[in-house]
Amino acid sequence: MTVAIYGHRGYPARFPENSLQGFEYACEHGIDGIETDVQMSADGHLVIMHDERVDRTTDGTGWIADLTLPALAQHCLQLLAQRLDHALRQRYLLVAAGGK
């Protein structure tokens, strides 16, 4: 039996969940992949966020699907297309989807 080790939302015990710092730390320490969640903003941008609302992890309130990218950016959310570098997208997100 093979066991894979994934960084659940990066490494939230040490860094803010779903933060680039948490993803990088987990990757630098030999994990097999990263588990994260992606939501879509009202204007069609992808946002890394576990919750469908911004209330728990930011100083804002509301549904991600109801907020535009500029409104979300005011709450310091990590934006998928702007914050994950190419190597992380290719290597680790594909592993989570079952690729190699």
For the annotated catalytic residues, the residue numbers are: 8, 50
**CA-CA distance, 1 to 87, in Å (whole number)?**
28
Q: If you search the block for the tokens 């989570």, which residue do you land on?
A: 96
Q: If you search the block for the tokens 């994934």, which residue do you land on?
A: 6
CB atoms near residue 46 (< 10 Å): 15
**CA-CA distance, 55 to 51, in Å (whole number)?**
9
**CA-CA distance, 30 to 8, in Å (whole number)?**
14
**Token pair of 18, please?**
């779903």
